[in-house]
Each structure stands twice: as structure tokens, then as C-alpha cells.
A and B are shown apart, each in its own frame.
Chain A
Amino acid sequence: MKNSQLFFEHYGLTQHDLERYLAAALSAGGDYADLYFEYLSSTSLMVDESMVKSASQGISAGCGIRVVSGERTGYAYTDDLSSQRVLQAARTAALIASGPAKEPIIGFQEKPARNLYPVSLPSVEAEITAKVELVMRADRAARAYDPRIKEVRASYADELRHILVVGSDNTYAEDSQPLARLNVSSIAKVDGNSARGSAGGGGRVALDFFFGEKTPEYFAREAARQAILQLDAREAPAGEMEVVLGPGWPGVLLHEAVGHGLEADFNRKKTSAFTGLVGRRVASEKCTVVDNGTMPWRRGSLNVDDEGQPTQNTVLIEKGVLKNYLSDKLSARLMGIADTGNGRRESYEHIPMPRMTNTYMLAGEDAPEDIIRSVKRGIYAVNFGGGQVDITNGKFVFSASEAYLIENGTITAPIKGATLIGNGPDVLTRVSMVGSDLKLDEGVGTCGKDGQAVPVGVGIPTIKIDRLTVGGTAKRDSGGFMQ
């Protein structure tokens, strides 16, 4: 269903209604108001013990209304799209301002649209049996990988989010955002020893994505491989050492170490460790980092953000120098900077704020093999779980789930998962080599901020960080090493 059909026909909305709601929102003054209509349908399936144990579908719809007055934001939402209830929500949001009503808004302008994720059939509308096949195939492939794989859980989830955003600056935008994801987790067991592995992927794609190159077998074998590998993992070392990050998902380093700290709201309020550093060196010359919301099919991509602004490719760090913050409408206006199209929200129940899309480092010139060879003693980390950052003091962590020791330029034994910790504003100054092998993650990232979760992407080429603290357990006398 087209958005205009959905909101205008199914819910009986008219342009006059939109004008009326905005007028109610600005009935006590204010600088800006917008309406965010959302209709979300979703499916999820889970196979465990080779049985499809869970299947669910759902629909949620509603409208969020925001009124901005100076630095103040009033917000209200309703899951009932009748005129009476939307007007009531608009009047509640209007309580943030206290002045004479604004001039009525007449007419809207839609910016030229592009489609970064054209799908002939959104996956939510695809045959459920095809989705069942995906999870069952994943289950079989993980079990077939190795007899030591004893437990497998595979899940599939998709959604289709229709949004309509109108603003008192005459903004009008609609978008239909598909999202699909397949995950496999496995547990290997042998002689009382157990280990786990997981893998997954997806994006703003149709179901055929999983029948092409990124098949259920691809993710299942990866999950199984990691679990088997971890059975033999040694204790990780502890302390500062050289760290090489593999390409792809380890880009979560950028997300935590610099991405959050460059979100404009923190810098407007001067609460980020990056406050006031635009134009200053925050990374080695080899580092150029961007946030790019315009990559086709990517999980973190959007045609327009949740304020109706087209997304873009924003340079955050260029050859080591901090260039830009990621902004939404509010921060752009208050800071006098450009709106980079990063205003996002989890749903109609949430106030938008600056968020990342796909954040990655551009490829450099070093050969990945040379990077490994240059390390005397260190670790090579290729897969990560999540991470977290304290944006005020800049400290960040990310947890390696697959890593190896590097000894005298050679990758040796796998090591147990360990947390890596560093300081955002200076970790990238210690990047001494950047590989030519930029890779984006497989499409499973979800970022949390202020209790709001949004899908994101990350990417990085192989890089070498000269010094980073690794949180292992190995003692000096037990064959591991410490500095």
C-alpha cells in the first residue's frame, strides 16, 4: 500500500486536517511544529530445537506531535488517529509555548524523493512459508557444520514502516521503510566444554536478499564456525597493547568512540568530550570517517530522516581533522549549522534527536597482511558484540567476540572474548595503519540512546591501533603476556 493511500484513504486524513493539526499545535505560539504519522507492520519467527516454536505478527500505528519553542520541546502522541484525539494531542504539545497563536500553515512542499530501497514486494507481505524455509535452512546448516554443534536458534524478523511527516516549515515527506534481519546463534559442546557463536545480517531489503549471496547457510556456518573456534580459545591478555581490528563489524569502534560524541545535541549543550573540537585534529592523518545515510539497501539508510529531511553523506573526520557534527532540525537551528538529516526516532511515541545512520572509515593504502606483519605482540579482533560510551568523559568500550593473539607478525591462538576500552577523542590519533579493505557490517546493528533504539550500520577497513587497553584475565606467569 502506498503511504498516501494508507494515511489519506484508510485513515481519512486530508491536507486540511494536517493544516488544522499544525495550527492547533502552534495555537500558543512556538517556533516550529511537526506531525509524525507512523504505521508499522512486523513479522517474527523463531526456530529452536529444529522446531518453529514462535511466530508472530503485529501492527502499531499512531501520530506524534511536537512543538518547539526556543530550546523547549513539547510532545504528545496518540494511537487513535481520529481528528478529536490528534487535535487533543496537538493541544497538549502546545502547552510548551505561551504566546499568541502562529500564522496558519497553508500548503506543503515535498522535496524530490529518491528510493534507496526499492522492493517489488516488501518482505512483510511475502509468503510466510518462505520465511519459515529461511529459519529451517539456517537450523539445518548450523547443525550440519560440525557434530559438536548441539543447540541452534535461528530467528527472522521483518517490518515495513510507513511514515508521513509534515512540519510548519512546509515540510512534507513520506517514506516506506522495509527492514529484514536473519540471526543464527549456536552452542558447541564437547567434554563439558561449551562455547557460543552468533551471526546474522539483513538490511532494507526484500526476502530475495536471503536467497542470493547472503543465504541462511552463510550466516549459519558463520555462527557455527565461531562457536567451534571458541572451544579452543585461550585466556585473553590484560593491559595496553597493539590492537588490529579486522574489517566490517569492528567499525563499532567508530560508532562508540567518535560517532556518539559528534551528535549535535551533546555539542550544543557542551556535554560531549568533543565539544569545541571542530577544525582540530582528533585522529591520525590516515583517518577519514563519514556517516552516510544514502547507501542503497543498508540497514542504517533512510530516504528521509524522521523529520522529513533527506539524509546525506556527512564527513565527520577528514584526514584526522574534525569537520562536522550530526544534526537534527533543533540543533541545526540553535547552533546555526546545516541540518545533516540525522533526526531520528524509535517510533511515534518518541521525540527525534540526532542519531547515526551508517558510520564508517574510508579505506587507506595499507595491505591487511602488512598490518598484521607489523605487530610484534598484540591482538587481532575480527568480531564484536556491542559497545557503549560515556560521551562526557569520552571513555568507550566494545567487546570482542572473536579475537586472536598476534605474535611476531603472525596470527596464532584464538582468545576468549574481552572488552576493549579507550578514550574517544584520542584513540584514533593512535591509528598508524589503515587497510585498503573497507567492509560494511552484515546489517544487524541496533543503537540505543536515551531509551530509543534505531537500526544503524558500521564499517571499517583493517586498522592498527598502537595502544589500547584489553580486558583479559591472563596472568603474567600463565603463558599469556602483559606489558
Chain B
Amino acid sequence: MPQGAVEIRNQKLETDLKALAADLVRRALLGGASAAECVVREGDEFSTVVRLGQVETLKESGSRAIGVRVFFGQRAASTYSSDFSREGLDRMLRAAIELARITSEDPYAGIPQPGQLGSISGDLDLYHDDVYSLPGDERIDYARRAEKAALDFDSRIKNSEGGSFDAATGRKVLANSHGFLGEYQRSYCAAAAVPIAQDERGNMQRDYWFSIARSLRRLEAAENIGKIAAQRTLRRLGAKKIKTAEVPVVFDPLVAVSIMDHIFEGINGDSIYRGASFLAGKLGQKVAGDNVTVIDDGTMRGGFGTSPFDAEGVPTRRTTVIERGVLKSYLLNTYTGKKLGLETTANASRGLAGNPGIGPGNYFLHRGSKPAKAIVSEIKEGLYVTEFLGQGANLVTGDYSRGASGMWISRGELAYPVEEITVAGNLKEMFFNIVEIGDDLEFRGAMACPTIRIDGLTVGGE
């Protein structure tokens, strides 16, 4: 079992991807382009799922791909390929040059100025090859132990979608015709358990818990993951519907992140210049309560949203997005910055094709001082949301309506589980109605949010 992983990585073709990217940029200019940019992605992945003690899937592989974006004056086009042969790369470059003929002159198109380019220095703690250090059978065992801890926790845990262990490493290379050439590597590993509990009437509930880390050393113990997954699942048993009401709503950190995501979508430069967000034009104005401070920081050591430079080669930075309720900065790439007469905030993101988009660094709501328990204990009747279903946020109007399940709060305690309900309001008001912010900020991805309480929402039920 264990040999496969090692074999694949060691036999990977040792092409110098940086030299390859720089060469493609040079050849694009020789082909007549006035500017060019090349990205290369390379990655390996391992994943296993163990269900009811038996290995269910075992997956292991690596792949790479390359993309190029060319400019002819103010016209741009991009192409990508998974074929790294000389002919494959030639064809990709020719196609990009050809394609640029049909795009429009856009006065704001272009790559960053030479002075904007660079990379933050120092070890960002993004890559640990220990994510692959466990032999294959021990990776499977990690998944098995996580599931077993959940199954053993309570006799009502009767089934499972399994325990899992995943590991991945990836490398990104970026070169452009203003002389930028950079690369970085990142790693992660994750373990999860997804148990299913059944009550005496045969009704089932499922929930999960997981841990994710850039180094195996920081991954939570499998037993702990399984135990928390079991507790989260069991508390859903016997869930009922409730009457429609307007009550305080407490968002568990795992779902509170979605509120951060709505703010992110609302201050994303692409939504702003198109007026596709109700936050467009609100720079310097109050958009949330005094207690709300939102930060985007692409430089945090070991962060899931950390990188030395963004997808256009601009060094990452820390940006205060909202300070005590006042909108201080949008999040921008070079293009949206120019459109708005502002400078990029180094939030460019990109896949292999198309123009850069906008992505978060480590993006979070500044923590408050109150423990989550205290926030709940102050509520007489209310809803504690642990899961959302569906999308249901409209950034143009702020209208918000989502399916939810969670726990009913009665006299300051999580009293009983509830489900098949909706939570609705308008984001414009919701950002002002975040009346409590917990002290429990923890990153499980690039975005994070502590427990929050929002008032004035309509909880829809029977």
C-alpha cells in the first residue's frame, strides 16, 4: 500500500517549471505580444475514505497544467493546456495570439507595473512535506480511527459516511513580461468523520467534524475529530419544526463564515465597479455596527489564505476592510483597481484561463471578548444555527433567505434541535445588527469568523 505515493513523486519529470514559464513569456513577446503572463500549476493528491472500518476508496495521483495570457496593446486573451510537449506548448501560445485578435480594446487591461511587483520575504510556513510522511497504512488508520471514535461514542451512532484522510502538495509558478518570476509551494492534510445517528423512530441525522493543517504535526488527533463529529450529530436527533418568529439568531463559527463571505462578495472590486453590490460607493461610510472590524491578511504565517505574492505577482499585504463599522477598503486586483482609480490590494486570484478574479487572503471578523456560551446564555428565546442549506443571498439588493437547522435556545440554554426552517433578512441591516461577537476565532480555511449574534431576522417555520 505505501509504496505508490513515494514512487509517483520521485519519478516526476524534473523540468524546471520556472525556466519554462519565463521562456513562454519571452516567446509570446517574440510572437508580437506587447505583454504576457504565464502560470504553471503542479500538484499531488492522496485521499482515502474508510467506511464502517473498511477502506472504501484510495486515490493517489499528480497532475500539472500551464496557462498563458497575452496582451496586444489593450486586448487580451488566454489559453491553457495539460500537454507540456513542445508541440503542445507551441499550439497553446499560437492559439492565445490568435485569440487576442477578437477581444476588445479595454483601456484598463494590463499586467501590474514593474514597481508593483514583488514577493514578501521570509518563511511563510506554507509547505511541510510531512503531510506525506505517514506510510499508506497509517494514513488509512488515521481515517479509520476518526470514524471508529464516532461509531464508539454512542450506541445511537449506527451508520457512517466514513472517516477520511487527505493530503496534498502543490506548486505555483508565475512569470510575466515586466520581469516577475516567482514560485511557491503549499501543503495541507485533513482528516474528517461523518457519522450518522438514528433515533428510536428510525429518523436519521448526519453531521461532521474535521481538522485541516499545513503540517501533519498540527492535525487534530483522529479520536478527537470522531468524538466531536458524534456529538454534533447526536444533538440533531429528534429535530422539529418551529413556528415562524422574529428572534435573535446565533451563528455557530462554521456557519458565521458565510456572513463573512457575503461581505467579501459585497466589497469585491468586480462587484463594485459594476454596481452589482449594495456596498458600491460606500467607501468611508458606515456599513456595519461599531463592533465590526474585518481584516484581509495574505501574509499570516502558515495561513490557509497566505501566499508570498498574488496571482498577478504583487506582494500580499494586510488590508483593513471594515474598521469599527466604516468601510475602509475594497478588495481589488490590478484591473478593478484601475477601474476604480485605486491601487490593487494584492487580491488577484486566477485559474488557468481567463482574466484574474479576486480572492481572499486570510479574511476574518476581528474577535470579540465574549465566550460563545455567554452569548447564548443571554438569550431567552432564539435560534442557534449550525447548518445552512442552499445559497439565497442577493448582493445587489442585500436580500437574504436561507434554509437552516440548529438548536432552539430557551432561557439561555441550547434546548432542542430544530430543522426545516428558514432565516431571512437583508444584509444591509444584518451587518448593523451583529449585536454580539464571540472570542472564538479559529481558521479552518482562508475565511474565519467567531460566533456572532444577529437580531431582527425572520425565522420561517410552520
Contacts and interface: CB of A to CB of B under 8 A. Distances in A.
Interface of A: 44, 46, 48, 51-62, 71-79, 88-89, 91-92, 95-96, 128-129, 132, 150-151, 153, 187, 189, 194-196, 230, 236, 238-240, 269-271, 273, 349, 351, 385-390, 392-393, 395-399, 416-419, 421-423, 469-475, 482-483
Contacts, number: 265
B271 to A, nearest CB: 10
The listed residue with most B CB atoms (<10 A of its CB), out of A73, A189, A270, A399, is: A399
B205 A397 contact: no
18 contacts: A55-B77, A55-B99, A56-B77, A56-B80, A58-B81, A72-B57, A73-B58, A150-B275, A187-B276, A187-B396, A194-B275, A236-B424, A238-B460, A390-B206, A399-B392, A419-B424, A473-B458, A483-B244
Contacts of A469: 241, 420-422, 460-462
A270 B196 CA distance: 10
Contacts of B161: 269, 271
A362 to B, nearest CB: 26
Nearest to A42: B353
The listed residue with most A CB atoms (<10 A of its CB), out of B61, B78, B106, B352, is: B61
Contact of A58 (B276, B352, B458): B352
A96 B55 CA distance: 8
Contacts of B95: 57
Contact of A62 (B55, B63, B354): B63
B204 A196 contact: no
The listed residue with most A CB atoms (<10 A of its CB), out of B4, B11, B56, B425, is: B4
B99 A196 contact: no
Contacts of A390: 206, 387, 389
Contacts of B403: 388, 395-397, 419, 421, 471
Nearest 5 pairs of A and B residues by beta carbon: A471-B422, A397-B403, A51-B104, A397-B390, A392-B206
Contacts of B100: 55
B419 A95 contact: no
A369 B398 CA distance: 33
B121 interface: no
Given A55-B102, A271-B206, A60 B420 contact: no
A128 B99 contact: yes
B77 A472 contact: no
B255 to A, nearest CB: 13
Nearest to A60: B82
Q: Interface size for chain B: under 10, 10 to 19, 20 to 34, or 35 or more residues? A: 35 or more
A396 B276 contact: no
Contacts of B397: 194-196, 230, 416
Contacts of A57: 79-80, 95-96, 99, 353
A287 B42 CA distance: 49
Nearest to B402: A419
The listed residue with most B CB atoms (<10 A of its CB), out of A54, A96, A385, A418, is: A54
B274 interface: yes
Nearest to A73: B57
B401 A472 contact: yes
A43 B206 CA distance: 40
Given A92-B4, A271-B161, 14 more contacts: A54-B76, A59-B80, A74-B59, A96-B55, A128-B99, A194-B397, A230-B397, A238-B458, A388-B403, A392-B204, A395-B403, A418-B422, A471-B422, A473-B425
A59 B81 contact: yes
A419 B390 contact: yes
B102 A72 contact: no
Interface string B131-166: 000001000000000000000000000010100000
The listed residue with most B CB atoms (<10 A of its CB), out of A95, A150, A397, is: A397
Interface in B253-281: 274-276, 278
B369 interface: no
